[in-house]
Each structure stands twice: as structure tokens, then as C-alpha cells.
Amino acid sequence: MQFMQGSESRSRQHRRIALASAAVALAAGTGVAVAATTGEPISDDAPIVVNDSFVSPLTERFGDVRVGKGVFVAGNTILRADPGHRVSLGDATNVQDNVSVLALEPGARTATTGARTSLAHQAEVVNSTIGKFTFIGFRARIVDATLADGVFVGHGAVVDGVKIPKDRFVAVGAHITTQAQANALPKKTEGDADFQNDVLEVNHEFAEEYADLYEDKGYAAVTGISRSPKTTFNPGKSPKLGAKFSAQPSARIVGDVRIGDNSKVGRRTSIRADEGSPISIGASAAIEDRVTFHALKGTSISIGSGLDTDDNVVFHGPLTVGDRLTIDDDAILFRATVGNDVTLEEGAIVVGPATGLKIKDGTKIPAGTVITSQAQVDALG
């Protein structure tokens, strides 16, 4: 018994010595207490260039995740497979900023995409099977569903628990939750297919050029604030940020991005001027977490001063916005010319036609409203 007490005493003594050493290190100004052992690694290598694909180092990967050839995965995405499950991305698939692909317990054992599929900004795919040559729009949500080849899902749509037949079109903001709704969906147009091909072409080049950029310049060239790669559609430029600008470390700002003085950018926000450019944001912008800015090839984004966003917002060019825009959580703004002092409330979806929308000064777009035509804008008064 005395031996045990002695052992306990020595153990306590060892802990006191370790704590004292740590205190000495902190008092010396190092701010770091070094452990006596190096410990055991708890993560595997996460390749960035693999199988002729580029997977951003800002991507969160969990479990059994697999990619085909020529895949592009942008930053701040989540690819998660619970134990016994798998996430699989088909050849030439693109997974854009802030997307989630999840194979979760309980549920289907896989979340998969076929070849040549596009998962656009902030889309979410959960325990679902996505066919070849499909398009999933901004902030669309696919849950416990099967999408046949060629399906086109519009921005902000929800598809839950159904099977979507081949080449069908799901409208912007639609909620498809019964099989009868799924069977009644119209066929997509040739214009929709052309748009899909354009997106695939751009992202195929991204897969090649970002991989080359990483291999030539290293980690810093494909994370944080950096120059965009030179492509056939973008000259490759660096951001220009105003005085007293700040961004969280997980933000991604790339290419010809111009942000005014006294602006702040939150966690996991992506501002990518690597396709359409420039992306210009005026002074005193307050941009919160998981906000995405991007523009189609040959277009741009211009936003005035005093931008105020909540979380999980998508801005997509072509887009021109005046001063003092307020935009709440989970909103989408695409293909529009917007005046001053406009407000988009939570979950509002504004997606213009190819000719765009015009939204006048002082307009308030109510929560959950879906706007896809000028007549709908005008009806707001």
C-alpha cells in the first residue's frame, strides 16, 4: 500500500513538473507548451491533385470519398461518408464552392454522381444517386432521391424522396416531394443542355489549370487570397483589396476581385473571379459566412457600397447592384440589375432570364419569394 502511495506521489510530482515547464515556456513569451511525445497521427494524406482531378485543399473530406478523372472540386465544400458509406464523384464532374455531398447514417449507403455532372454553388446532395450529364443549381437540395441521366434542377429547388425521370426539368424554387410531381415534370430544352455543356467546359479547364497551378506554385497559390489561373476565358489576375480590409482565414478570394475600404469577409466565403470578371464590391461591405460570389464566362459582378449580407447567400453574375443592398440568409441573386436600398429577405430567390431583371430603388423582396420574371418584380410595387 505504501508502494502505491509512493507511485501516486511520483505521478503527481511528474504532472507538477510538466505544468511548471509549460508555465516557464509561457512566461518566457513563447506562448506554446511542447508535449513530451509527438503523439499519433489522426488524419490520412488528403491529395489535392489525384486521378487527373483537382480537389481544393479547403475541402473537408470524411470517410470513403472517391473521385473519377478530370473532376474539379472548389473550396469550402464538404464530402462526407459515414462508416460503411461512400461518396463517389464521376468523371468530369464539378463540385462548386460551398457544396455538400453527404452519405449519412441511416440511409442509402452512397451519395454518387455520374459522369459530366455539375453541382453548382451551395447545392446539397444527401444519400442520393445522380445520373450522368445532370445539373444541380445554386442552393438546390437533393435528399434520398434518384435522378436519371440528363436531369436539370433549377436554383433553390428541393427534390426529396422521389425518382426523377431522364432529361426532366425542375423549375427554380420548385419542391418535388411526390412521385406524381416527379413524373409530371417537363423535359428540359436544348438551351438547358447547351448551358450544361458550357459549365462543364469551363470546369474541365479549371481542373487542369488549378492542378497545374498547385504543382507549379504550391499550396498558397490555391488557398486564401491569390491570383487566378490563366485560362482561355480569363487572363489570370490578383485581387485588389482596400484599406482596413479583413477576411477570415477560411475565406477564398481569387482573381480580379476589387473590394473597397473598411470591408470584412467571413468564414468559408468564396469570391472567385476566375471565370467572369471583375467582381467589384464597394466600401464598407459586411459579408458574413459561406457567401459565394461567381460570374459566368464573359460577365461580371458590380456591387456598390454598404453591402450587408447574412450567411449562405449566392451572388452570381451577370449582376449589377447599387448601394446599401441588404440580403438575408439563404438568398440567391443572379442575372439582375438592382437599384439602391434594396432588401432581399431570408430565402428569397431572384433568378433572371438571359435578358436579366431590373429591380428599382427601395424594393423589398419578401422571405421565400421566388422571382424569375420582370412581371413578378413589377408586381412587388
Q: Are residues 229 and 172 in the same domain?
A: no
Instruction: Tell which of 140, 171, 192 closes a domain.
Output: 192
What percent of the chain shows pLDDT beyond 90? 86
In a domain, 29, yes or no: no
pLDDT for 43 equals: 59
Q: Are residues 270 and 125 in the same domain?
A: no
Domains of the chain: total: 2
| Cα(147)–Cα(207) distance, integer angstroms | 25
Please state the pTM of the whole predicted model.
Answer: 0.89
Confidence check: pLDDT of 25 > 50: no
Instruction: Tell which of 141, 172, 192 closes a domain.
Output: 192
Q: Are residues 140 and 231 in the same domain?
A: no
In a domain, 6, yes or no: no
Q: Are residues 57 and 148 in the same domain?
A: yes
Q: Are residues 119 and 59 in the same domain?
A: yes
**pLDDT digits 0-9 by tens, 4-14:** 334 444 444 44
Checking DSSP bridges between strand 60-62 and strand 64-67, what pairing results, if any? unpaired
Residues found in the chain: 381
Domain that holds residue 112: 49-192
Q: Are residues 252 and 372 in the same domain?
A: yes
Is residue 310 within 8 Å of 327, Cβ to Cβ? Answer: yes
CA 174 to chain centre: 21
DSSP 269-300: -EEEESSS--EEE-SS-EE-TT-EEEE-TT--
In a domain, 37, yes or no: no
Confidence check: pLDDT of 26 > 70: no
Q: Are residues 54 and 184 in the same domain?
A: yes
Report residue 197 as a C-alpha cell.
Answer: 455543356
In a domain, 40, yes or no: no
Confidence check: pLDDT of 72 > 50: yes
In a domain, 147, yes or no: yes
Q: Are residues 240 and 365 in the same domain?
A: yes
| Cα(268)–Cα(190) distance, integer angstroms | 35
Q: Are residues 256 and 296 in the same domain?
A: yes
Burial of residue 300 (CB within 10 Å: 0-12, 13-18, 19+) is middle
DSSP 172-188: TT-EE-SHHHHHTPPBP
Q: What is the CATH number of the domain that holds 275?
A: 2.160.10.10
Residue 205 pLDDT level (bands cut at 50, 70, 90): very high
Q: Are residues 230 and 181 in the same domain?
A: no
Provide the terminal-to-terminal Cα distance of the chain, rounded to the nearest Å: 86
| Cα(288)–Cα(311) distance, integer angstroms | 5
In a domain, 9, yes or no: no
Residue 44 pLDDT level (bands cut at 50, 70, 90): low
CA distances from 226 to 89, 229, 232 (A): 27, 9, 19
Q: Are residues 366 and 278 in the same domain?
A: yes
Confidence check: pLDDT of 2 > 70: no
Q: Are residues 315 and 236 in the same domain?
A: yes
Half-sphere exposure of 306 (CA within 13 A, CB side): 10
**pLDDT digits 0-9 by tens, 143-201:** 999 999 999 999 999 999 999 999 999 999 999 999 999 999 999 999 999 999 999 99
Instruction: Tell which of 192, 215, 250 closes a domain.
Output: 192
| Cα(58)–Cα(76) distance, integer angstroms | 5
- In this prediction, residues 35-44 reach a mean pLDDT of 60
In a domain, 94, yes or no: yes
Least confident of 6-15, 222-231, 277-286, 294-303: 6-15
In a domain, 18, yes or no: no
